[in-house]
Structure 1
């Protein structure tokens, strides 16, 4: 892999992690407990090959903070879901 491609992938991954860390952190501060995941249709939660597909799922704020992306060049984003409250 050319150095330029490696540098680009690393930069994109770092910026995606930083962006996706901010959204769950701010949601947590606002009392939101769940996030909706926006990701590529075939992208898994913990890796691209993970059978647990991420897009369209609801995850806890803690889960979102743990897995801000699943692979280099990941397009994952989160949306706070204040309307979703856990069942008791």
Structure 2
């Protein structure tokens, strides 16, 4: 699990579309999806239900979202303190 994977997941979960999330993190949609798939593989479970028209968070995704947000905030604070 990497911060880049968590960032991709976080923005995909909080934006209204994967395309908007990809733009936010300066990636193509396929690169964003790949990072999320790698995170899902490392956790051993899906974070999004992709069966419908829009991807919806699974239970695991719902549990991860607040923790991912907190970790990303901590990483940003660390960058600001050090930089």
TM-score, length of structure 1 as denominator length:
0.27
TM-score, length of structure 2 as denominator length:
0.29
Flag the structure with higher helix content.
2
| Greater C-alpha Rg | 1
Flag the structure with higher strand content.
1
